[in-house]
Structure 1
Amino acid sequence: MTDDEARATAGQWFVGSHGAPVDAPDDAHPARWTQVADKDEFLAAVEAVDPSLRERLAAVHVAGRQVPRRPFAAVRWLDDDWVAVFTPTVWYTETDRQVHTGELGALVGPGQVLTFEVGDAGVHDRALARLRGPGPAHGEGAQRVALAVLMAMVGVASEVEVALGDAVAETERIVFDRSVSDPVQRLYDLKREITEARRSLLPFSAELPELTDVGNSRRAVADRRTLERAASAVERIDRHLDAHDDLLSDMLQVHLAQVSVRQNEDMRKISAWAAILVYPTVVAGIYGMNFRNMPELHWLLGYPFALALMVVGCVVLYRAFRRVGWL
């Protein structure tokens, strides 16, 4: 793919030292921000900038993908001017109550930023809106773009955490709702989605401090204080997700305790009714032995007496079990 072909398939803006992104340079030294659709176009666009960068960048990406289906994050300085960032992205859909993961890649260098995004997290659109929106400018050109992409990703992760927190609150109400037969499946599903979100964020939080490691010959991607704020935000999101997970574990324990209590209540009721039914069986068994010296067998009122004895005994047992709370 030639440089012109890469530009034709990409969204491209120029970001200067003042003002919002525009379609053409707005000052003498603008930063060119190119956003492409996937990794292949990303590597082609990098090759148009510098073929040696493409080889080093591909090596970083291949090395990070040695473990299949594991979220991959990496911050690698390719030289003193160029830094590559790969990180997973997350988003939450209300329809299926699931956390989905994608991937974001960026290459930041002198006057240029190249990015790609796989998935529906919308980090690129949020970064563009952040650059075009009001607010103080932090950094110039490429630094401003890199910071906007970084903060957009943190913002998306924060929204995922809030959505999961709302789902946890709704699940908490369901756990104490007796009309819901078994909320265990929902609890497990939500714990799985929280785990998925944490798995996607932890690699990035582990690699983010690498951006602050700027030597005397390296260009700063953004100021240290801003990067540390972003790292603190990611750690705070992870702590909140951990708290949500702990709350779900507590809910599961409460639900199991409720099930145990209901089972104990059912066992007591079964035992009480069994005792009540056993009493007339015992009386009938005694008088059914038909021994010769049993005067009640030849008594005129023997049969009504036996029935009355059964009824009175059952009533006494019923009232006794009701008094102790077994019925």
Structure 2
Amino acid sequence: MADLPEAARRHGIGEHAIALLLHKGPGAHPSSADHPLRARLDRSPDGEFVLTAPTLSFVEATNDVNTGALTCVVGKEVVLMCELGDADVIGHAVEKLTGGYPVPDEGVHQVLAAVVLSLVAEASDVEIALGDAVADVERLVFSSARHHNPLEKIYDLKREIAEARRALGPVTSVLPELIAEAEESRERRHSQPWLGRAVAWVDRLDKHLDGYDDLLGDMLSVHLSQVSVRQNEDVRKISSWAAIAAAPTLVASIYGMNFHHMPELSWTLGYPLAIAVMGGVCFTLYRLFRRSGWL
């Protein structure tokens, strides 16, 4: 990224565009968690412009969304690009241009079209991967078997979706500027439709990500409700067993009192009868609790 201004100077890019690259490129203002990279399109008085946009990639092993940076310097006859991160947008753009795939527009703008479409396509792949991850969490939450607490996975996915939306959202502000740039150029007015499709594509991706985030919020509410229901079931079971244990404890505590005149103390069958009564009471309570669904 630091070599891009010098490369632009060697290939005849004007000083105005190089100044924009130096002062407004991603290297001039490093992004952070509080101030992420913002997509922007800066035009110079010479008609050249600098496009800076975040990129997205997805790590399937950890369900992480990684963001990078893409910078394009578009001159009259040359396009210089530099990319940070592992999205490989430039590689996919080169494949489009050299592999015989139909790419709209013409000249240097055709290269730009390949880059923008590749960037949005990579974001689409990330959206699809996030959708699959959300579906996996949904199956986990609604599984009837006892499993590990899915709260961590839900919150992790919500964070990654927020990361994807934070990187994808600013792209929607750049695409209209590209449309305006094409409208100002009379000879390029016929090449605007692909930009409109790109805008619709990005809007659709953002709506899908918003839907995934809402679905995760619903799953979080469902999981908390399930936890509450299970806790109520556990409380009822504990209460039932406590009631069953209280019956023999009550009888035993009465006969454990140090009084001489108590019923059946001198009767031979008194002890077996007390044990039988305690067992019968416990069995009756057990049957009642089982019938009511508490056990």
**What TM-score results when the alignment is normalised by the length of structure 1?**
0.81
1:61 alignment partner in structure 2? 25
Is 2:218 aligned against 1:254?
no
- Tell whether the 8 Å contact from 2:17 to 2:50 is kept in structure 1 after alignment: no
Query: Alignment partner for residue 308 of structure 1, among 276, 283, 288?
Result: 276
Give the distance between the partners of 1:195 and 1:216, measured in 2 at CA. 35
Give the distance between the partners of 2:52 and 2:190, measured in 1 at CA. 17
- Tell whether the 8 Å contact from 1:146 to 1:222 is kept in structure 2 after alignment: no
1:206 alignment partner in structure 2? 173
1:119 alignment partner in structure 2? 85
Instruction: Quote the RMSD (CA, aligned, Å).
Output: 2.3
2:110 alignment partner in structure 1? 144
1:268 alignment partner in structure 2? 236
Change (3 A) 1:137 1:66: closer
**Stretches of 4+ aligned residues off by more than 4 angstroms:** 215-222
Q: CA deviation at 1:60?
A: 2.2
Q: CA deviation at 1:66?
A: 7.3
Q: Read off the aligned partner of 2:161 and give its amino acid letter.
A: I
Q: Read off the aligned partner of 2:284 and give its amino acid letter.
A: V
2:162 alignment partner in structure 1? 195
Q: Which secondary structure state, in structure 2, belongs to the residue aligned with residue 207 of structure 1? A: helix
Q: Which secondary structure state, in structure 2, belongs to the residue aligned with residue 281 of structure 1? A: helix
- Tell whether the 8 Å contact from 1:112 to 1:142 is kept in structure 2 after alignment: yes
Q: CA deviation at 1:175?
A: 2.0
Q: CA deviation at 1:41?
A: 1.7
Change (3 A) 1:131 1:62: closer
**What TM-score results when the alignment is normalised by the length of structure 2?**
0.90
Query: Alignment partner for residue 55 of structure 2, among 89, 95, 120?
Result: 89
Query: Alignment partner for residue 129 of structure 2, among 144, 153, 163?
Result: 163
Q: Which runs of 5+ in 1 are unaligned?
A: 1-38
Q: Which secondary structure state, in structure 2, belongs to the residue aligned with residue 276 of structure 1? A: helix
Alignment map for 1:219-238 (pairs within 5 Å): 223-238=191-206
Give the distance between the partners of 2:4 and 2:263, measured in 1 at CA. 105
1:45 alignment partner in structure 2? 7
Q: CA deviation at 1:278?
A: 0.5
1:36 alignment partner in structure 2? none
Query: Alignment partner for residue 298 of structure 1, among 248, 259, 266?
Result: 266
Q: CA deviation at 1:220?
A: 5.1
What's the CA shift string for 1:213-248, capped at 9, x where partnerless? Answer: 236468859833211211111111111111111112
Q: Read off the aligned partner of 1:168 and give its amino acid letter.
A: V
1:9 alignment partner in structure 2? none
Give the distance between the partners of 1:128 and 1:87, measured in 2 at CA. 18
| Structure 1 stretch displaced more, 56-65 or 117-126 | 56-65
What's the CA shift string for 1:140-169, capped at 9, x where partnerless? Answer: 211111111110101110011111111111
| Residues matched between the structures, number | 289
Give the distance between the partners of 1:218 and 1:285, measured in 2 at CA. 100
Give the distance between the partners of 2:247 and 2:187, measured in 1 at CA. 91
Q: Which runs of 5+ in 2 are unaligned?
A: none
Identity %: 46
Q: CA deviation at 1:64?
A: 7.7
Give the distance between the partners of 1:78 and 1:209, measured in 2 at CA. 17
- Tell whether the 8 Å contact from 1:90 to 1:197 is kept in structure 2 after alignment: yes
Give the distance between the partners of 1:57 and 1:128, measured in 2 at CA. 23
Query: Alignment partner for residue 98 of structure 2, among 112, 132, 139?
Result: 132
Give the distance between the partners of 1:222 and 1:158, measured in 2 at CA. 26
